[in-house]
Amino acid sequence: MARIRADARFARLPVIAMTAHATAEERQKCIAAGMVDHVAKPIDPAALFATVARHSGRPESGVTSPAPPPRPDPADREAALQEIEGLDTRDGLSRVAGNRKLYERLLGQFVEQQGPAVGLVLEALDRGDRALAERLAHTLRGVAGNIGAKGVQETAGALEKRIRERSSEAETREAATRVSGVLDPLVARLRDRMVPPPPAPAEPVAPEPVDPGVTGVAAEELAKLLADFDPGAVEFIEANSAALRPLFAGAAWPEFRGLVADYAFPAAEARLAEARKGFRVP
């Protein structure tokens, strides 16, 4: 930051800090370093837009925030998720601009990837790898905040702090137990309540030949969606699987489709670029 401010061209450039810490002390450190404001993760879109508007010279009314998701119908899947103790679905949906399909996928990833987090933290501590333990707790805190699991976010933050401050083993394990006390029941409820998505249609054993020109057009459109990190890429690849399938041989196709389905768009974009290099369009 000091190097930026040392350049006369950027002396008055508004720079906003984005950190994982929401404390007043952390904000003051950012201001003292020369930044004009601070927003904390997990990001609240409305607060982020308001902060940018405040320092961009544009009236706040000129910035469009994502509309809050509508109140759910008691009969639908969102309503079922709303009933889960420890999960603020409306808050989680607001962080993905109301994209329910993306939110449900993030919930599934949370269950699979963060469910065992406390055990992994304790294993890292037992090996003396405090850096890994702190990173795991930090990740759990951030992901929990992004989906609206506020109890997990709070207790994981306390565990992260204990590890960072090198608290006693007893204090650290007590903090880990508190995380498990809110994480484990939430994971169990999500596993029980979440309705699994319908299975993807099976690929035909011998797909019919596809016009290479159609494949080229579909690949170009998908590349744009991936580059823009557009969630529509998930629906696009399913709707155009027959046209895109010839780009990938054997197991490469389900692997590529899995990357897109998991919203790993940068990796999928790189795979698609490689596949397009070896594909000739007459």
Specify whether the CB–CB gap between 69 and 100 falls below 8 A.
Answer: yes
Across the chain, mean pLDDT equals: 80
Is the pLDDT reported for residue 248 higher than 70?
yes
Is the pLDDT reported for residue 195 higher than 60?
no
The confidence band for 63, taking pLDDT boundaries of 50, 70 and 90, is very low
Is the pLDDT reported for residue 116 higher than 80?
yes
Place of tokens 């800090």: 17
Taking residues 145-174, report their average pLDDT: 95
Is the pLDDT reported for residue 49 higher than 80?
no
Q: Which amino acid is at 50?
A: A
Taking residues 175-184, report their average pLDDT: 97
| pLDDT for res 71 | 44
| pLDDT for res 170 | 96
| pLDDT for res 57 | 67
Predicted TM-score (pTM) of the model is 0.57
Domains belonging to the chain, first-starting first, are: 2-62 (no CATH), 77-193 (1.20.120), 212-277 (no CATH)
* Alpha-carbon span 11 to 227, nearest angstrom: 32
- How far lies 59's CA from each of 31, 44, 51, 53, 201, in Å? 23, 19, 11, 6, 48
Q: Cα angle at 234 between 232 and 238, to 5 degrees?
A: 115
Taking residues 55-76, report their average pLDDT: 50
Tens of pLDDT, residues 25-46: 667 777 777 777 777 666 666 6
Is the pLDDT reported for residue 201 higher than 60?
no
Q: Percentage of the chain with pLDDT > 90?
A: 31
Cis peptide before 197 (omega within 30 of 0): no
| pLDDT for res 18 | 72
Taking residues 55-81, report their average pLDDT: 51
Taking residues 91-115, report their average pLDDT: 86
